[in-house]
Amino acid sequence: MADTRMGRFGRALAAPFRWIAGATSRAITSLPWASGGPARSQVSTERALALIPLWACVRLISEQVASLPLQLYRRDGSNREPLSYIPQLLWAPAAQDDLFTWLQKCVLSMCLRGNAYGLVTARDDLGFPTMVEWLNPDDVFVDEEFPTRPVFYWQGRQVPDADIVHIPWMVLPGHVKGLSPVQVFARTIGVGLETTDYGLSWFTNGGTPPGVLKNGSRTITRDESEEISDRISARIRSRKPLVLGSDWDFTALQVSPEESQFIETMRLNASQIAAIYGVPPTMVGGDSGGSMTYTNVEAAANELVVLTLRPWLVRLENKLSTLMPGREAVRFNVDAMVRTTIIERYRAHGLALEQGWRNLDEIRALENLSPLPPGAGGDLYGPQRAAATIQPPALEA
């Protein structure tokens, strides 16, 4: 199976070169390839990822989105009917990637470059995509001269619009490409990188001395000073008692103003980067700026979904839904993020049964249990289920 899929992927990747025979082409030298990646004076994506708060934001968003279950629905006006089958694009979307890796690649590209570009490599009999490979944004150029009819180039060759899946993050009016957060906020990210480099250089070169040893009764030579310093350092490292004589006075130094400012700068930069991605600052080493706390894990998860993940989920849902046939739509199940106790979960199931918006089979599916046997009432809702449990009175003989 793997060899077959790889063969299909290889043939699909060769397809753009066949498109050129009947499509408009451009010389590679005429394309502004520098626009695909950062300029020398800007912060590169790889270097930006070395900044811990940025890495934490990108990791948090991409892993949370990729770990949420995907559900398929059929839209009928205001109604949504859950579908039991899963199309190939939602379980084997690429030649080498499972769904988690595939979604994470997409979100990572959006977080770091502001755009995710996918190449359709396989379709079903009706022409709907069954496999999409995410491309390196450095290899993609978008001609935005006419925003209503953008032209996509991959590795210097024009790709038909139908074979490109483009998901931008934040787009300005009159443009097609999304803004790259690493480039737009290069100065803020650069401050964090420079602060990190400064801290590394500071502590590598010794930083602030751990203390001052002073003798008030005599003046010592340089050699004596080095010898005394080595002896005191060895004693401190061995954690043995320190015995002083001849009017020695030892004073341990506190955190220097430079180190204190370094710590504050790192915390401030973490809060700024968290604000760029809409992530709660306390989750990435920043300062919340107040004493806001959460009563439980569920409240923290709800804030993360509403304030941080929801815009990303909507973008992915809208684009993936356009790749589905007919009225089918894709939705992420954000309830999977909330981990409640068994008592709370069973209480919620009981309310769902009483109010009639879930049946026993649906609840059993949530608990990874098989449906009830046919005729056992597992598919009945609220009043139907209650009526089925009422037995008519027995007739007297």
Q: What is the pLDDT of residue 152?
A: 96
pLDDT of res. 255: 45
**What is the per-residue pLDDT for 149?**
92
Q: d(Cα 119, Cα 114) in Å, to the nearest integer?
A: 17
Whether the CA torsion 100, 102, 103, 105 is positive or negative: it is positive
- Cα–chain-centroid distance for residue 269? 19
Q: What is the per-residue pLDDT for 349?
A: 82
Question: Which residue stretches of the chain have pLDDT < 50?
Answer: 1-12, 14-41, 205-208, 253-260, 262-263, 291
**Which residue is associated with the tokens 């401190």?**
236
- 236 burial level (CB within 10 Å; 0-12, 13-18, 19+): middle
pLDDT tens, residue by residue, 41-98? 456 677 777 777 888 899 999 999 999 989 898 887 767 788 878 899 999 999 999 9
pLDDT at position 327 is 86
pTM of the model: 0.65
Q: Are 195 and 266 in contact (CB under 8 A)?
A: yes
Residue 59 contacts residue 51 (beta carbons within 8 Å)? no
CB-neighbour burial class of residue 375 (10 A; exposed 0-12, middle 13-18, buried 19+)? exposed
pLDDT tens digits along 95-127: 999 999 999 999 999 998 999 999 999 999 999
180-207 exposure pattern, b = at least 16 Cβ within 10 A, e = fewer: bbbbebbebbbbbbebbeebeeeeeeee
Angstrom distances, CA of residue 206 to CA of 200, 202, 203, 210, 262: 10, 6, 5, 10, 15
Say how far apart CA 168 and CA 137 lie, in whole Å: 11
DSSP 336-394: GG----HHHHHHHHHHHHHHTSS-HHHHHHHTT-PPPPTTSSTT--HHHHHHHHPPPPP
Q: Nearest CA to 49 among 196, 264, 260?
A: 196
Q: Is the dihedral of CA 299, 301, 302, 304 positive or negative?
A: positive
The Cα 364–Cα 78 span in angstroms is: 26
- Here the tokens at position 261 are 């400012």
DSSP helix/strand/coil, 80: strand
